[in-house]
Each structure stands twice: as C-alpha cells, then as structure tokens.
C-alpha cells in the first residue's frame, strides 16, 4: 500500500509493530536502549526494503524475517569472541558468560528494584537459554508465530523448531524449579 500511493501506510505499519518489536529485541538483548535502536533500524530497513518487497507472503512474515535477520546480524557483530556450542545445547554451560557480552546489560538499581525476585529468576533463565532456543521461544511464545513460519524464518526444519521449543520449555521449567528451591532454602537458612 505504501508503494501504491498511500504514504500513511508506513506509519500504520510502525504503529502496529513498534511495541511488539521493541519487546522482541528487548527479550533478546535485555537492554532497553539497544532494543529501541534495533527497532528503529528495523523500520528503516523495512522502509528501504519496501522497493524490493513482493506481496507474495504475509506482511507479518516479512517483518519478522527482517527483524530476525537484523537480530542475527547484530548478535554476530556484538559477540566479542567466538563462542562455540552445539545446536543441541539448550542452556549455556556457564551462565555468567552468556548474558555479560553486552555493554550496558547490567540492570540499573531502578531495574533491580522493580524486578522482583521472580522476574529476575525468569530473566536469568531466559538469558541462560542458548541463542537458537531463545529465538524460537521468543517467536513462538511472545510473538505467537506458527511453527511453520518460524521454520521458514530461521530456515530450519519444522521438527527442529518443535524440538527446540520443547527443550527450551523443559529447560526453563527446570531452571525455575531449581531457582525456587534455592530461594526457599535461602529463606529457611535466613530464618534459622
């Protein structure tokens, strides 16, 4: 529509996706400033790519494809050193190393205050998931994309999407379960 004489169509697209995309990038990088910049980059890329866009598939798929590619490029650029893990690894072996790769990633005192213990545990659990699993979890749970579309976006078989999703959920359950246990033990210890 934007190409076909409706300049307002792009603004509508921005309105429609701005918050979804902000949350998408935020939950991948946990840095508000960076996620806002990535969202801005995404819309610029969409605008520049609008000349090449062929209306064959759904608009949403196109937006998510650009967003996913943007994140993957960004992730590769930001990685300070090569990190090797197999695709079947669900969580990082050392949880400290994974989330610390971004500058400005540490939560501010305000964020620490607003993040309750539970939220902090959830965030930590998500951060510990490896990139491929986190991306699938984000696209399926938060962005509510069908597995077939995720398979298409990430260029992986649908069975892989499913198994990554299942393993991510199992891993999150395990991590949250152990985090709860730790907290209750700490409380019991504190009371004692």
Partner 1 sequence: MSLQPNSNQHPNNGAADESADHDAVAWQPIDLLLKQGTPDEVTAMRNEVNGNPRKALELADTITLVEQFRLLSVKASPEFAGKLQDVALHSDRFYRSHFQPQSPAWLMPIVSGLAAAATFLLLWGFDVAQVWRSNPELTAVAGHEIRTSLSGMTIGDDRQIDVGSEAAVVDEEPISPDQASWERAVTEILARLDKETTDNLRDAFRNGMNQNGDALKQWLDPSNAMVLLRLEHELRASADVRVRALRSRGALAEVDDLVQELADGIADEMLRVVAVQTDPEGSSQLHVSDEELNNISWGVRALIASGSSAYRANALRNGGEWLARHVPQLTGERLVIALSGLVELAAISGQHFEAVAEHGQRLVDDVLQPSDENWRRRLPDLLAGHAAAGNLGEAGRILARLPAFGIAPQRCKLVRQLMLGQLRDRRTTAQDRPEVLAAMLYGCGDLLDEATGELDRIGWQLLRWKPTRLAPDFGTVQQIAWSRAPGSRGYTRLQRELRQLAILPMPDNLASRSAFLMCLATNFAGHVGSLLLNDE
Which residues contact partner 1 by CB under 8 A? 2-5, 7, 10-11, 14-15, 18-20, 22-23, 26-27, 32-33, 35-37, 39-40, 43-44, 47-48, 51, 86-91, 110, 113-114, 116, 118-119, 122-123, 126, 140-142, 144, 146-147, 157-160, 162-174, 176
Closer by beta carbon to partner 1, 24 or else 68: 24
Least CB distance to partner 1 at residue 80 (A):
24
- DSSP string of 30-56, one letter each residue: --HHHHHHHHHHHHHHHHHHTTT--TT
Q: How far is CA 13 from CA 51, 58, 146, in A?
A: 15, 13, 21
Closer by beta carbon to partner 1, 46 or else 68: 46
Q: How far is CA 157 from CA 72, 120, 149, 153, 161, in A?
A: 18, 33, 11, 10, 7
Least CB distance to partner 1 at residue 67 (A):
14
| Helical pair 117-128 and 158-191, crossing angle rounded to 10 deg | 140
Least CB distance to partner 1 at residue 19 (A):
6
Are 77 and 106 spatial neighbours (Cβ–Cβ below 8 Å)? no
Closer by beta carbon to partner 1, 53 or else 80: 53
Closer by beta carbon to partner 1, 31 or else 81: 31
């Amino acid at each position: 529509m934007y190409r076909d004489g409706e300049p307002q169509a792009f603004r509508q697209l921005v309105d429609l996706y701005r918050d979804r995309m902000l949350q998408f990038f935020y939950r991948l990088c946990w840095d508000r400033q960076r996620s806002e910049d990535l969202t801005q980059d995404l819309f610029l890329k969409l605008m520049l790519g609008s000349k090449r866009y062929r209306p064959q598939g759904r608009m949403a798929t196109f937006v998510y494809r650009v967003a996913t590619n943007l994140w993957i490029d960004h992730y590769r650029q930001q990685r300070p050193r090569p990190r090797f893990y197999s695709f079947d690894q669900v969580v990082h072996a050392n949880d400290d190393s994974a989330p610390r790769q971004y500058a400005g990633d540490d939560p501010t005192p305000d964020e620490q205050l607003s993040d309750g213990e539970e939220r902090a545990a959830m965030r930590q659990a998500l951060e510990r998931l490896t990139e491929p699993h986190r991306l699938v979890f984000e696209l399926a749970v938060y962005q509510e994309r069908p597995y077939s579309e995720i398979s298409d976006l990430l260029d992986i078989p649908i069975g892989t999407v499913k198994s990554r999703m299942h393993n991510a959920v199992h891993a999150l359950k395990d991590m949250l379960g152990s985090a709860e246990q730790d907290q209750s033990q700490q409380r019991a210890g504190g009371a004692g």
